[in-house]
Amino acid sequence: MKKEFVISNEQGLHARPATTLVSKANQYKSKITITHDGETADLKSIMGVLSLGVNPGALVEIVIEGDDETEAMEAITQHIRELNVQ
């Protein structure tokens, strides 16, 4: 299961927004990756996410594979919506 998102909050995925997103991903058993500008990282790894340098307005793709992928995608989608509003 995969979905694209535009990260529109003022900070992109740096510091606190990245930490909260990684925390949300870690609530699920599925493998979750994030891709930005051709680079892919484990969404459950704060260092991996920060290494992507996702700036405001960036397009990212999230891929989720596993038994709870549907629930995980719903939660991640909602979380990104909330991040983008801040």
- Looking at residue 44, which CATH number applies to its domain? 3.30.1340.10
CA 56 to chain centre: 13
pTM: 0.95
Q: Which domain holds residue 70?
A: 2-85
Residue with tokens 């909602």: 78
- Write the pLDDT tens digit of every residue in 9-53: 988 999 899 999 999 999 999 999 999 999 999 999 999 999 999
Counting the structural domains of the chain, the total is 1
Residues catalogued as catalytic: 14
